[in-house]
Amino acid sequence: MRIRPYIESKDYKYLEKWIDSERIHALWCANQIPYPVSKEGFHDLLEKNAAEYGDSAFVATEDNGEAVGFFCYSVNVEDNTGFLKFIIVDGRKRGAGYGKKMLQLAVRYAFLLTGAESVGLNVFEENSAAKHCYESVGFIETSTKKDIFTYNNESWGRCRMTVGKPAKAGSYA
């Protein structure tokens, strides 16, 4: 697996297939864009987050170049922390280690290339599979806000998870 910058003309066709239900959509982006996702809506979200937060969009690919995952990453240079968001893996690949491998590469990128001292992310408490994946990479829950998001008749809590830079350079996730 490799990570590289997201290329809309090449990668959007994969991503739109992964967000195949309203629930997956809500878990993925907290309804920051309408469902179903459109190329224009997704592009506008990426542009807005790039301008406001410095987000860069990435895809994880198989060795043959096929996209299998997506995430955005930004680094706050004032406190030297990285942040991951909009993390998703091809639904056909979930549970097979793709998310873990993608996040290991993302964390390695954050520590080695952007110099972040820690990397954070948010995940809904209801997304136990994603939370387990993040824990397998070394993220730990640092805070939880209950009832932060409503989906249908459900009230979801949001967990903040963080992984710190290892003391030993060769021990990155």
Give the pLDDT confidence of 117-148 residue by residue, as tens digits: 999 999 999 999 999 999 999 999 999 999 99
pTM: 0.95
Buried b (16+ CB within 10 A) or exposed e, 96-124: eebbbbbbbbbbebbbeebebebbbbbbb
Helices (H), the chain: 8-18, 22-29, 39-53, 98-112, 128-137
Report the pLDDT value the prediction gives residue 171, as an integer from 0 to 100.
59
CATH of domain 2-171: 3.40.630.30
pLDDT at position 168 is 74
pLDDT for residue 173 is more than 80: no
Q: Is the pLDDT of residue 62 over 70?
A: yes
Average pLDDT, the chain: 96
Average pLDDT over residues 88-99: 96
At 167 the pLDDT is: 82
CA distances from 140 to 85, 115, 136, 160 (A): 16, 20, 9, 8
| Closest-CA residue to 118 (of 70, 84, 146) | 84
Is there a contact between 128 and 158 (Cβ–Cβ < 8 Å)?
no
Pairing verdict, β 81-89 and 118-124: parallel
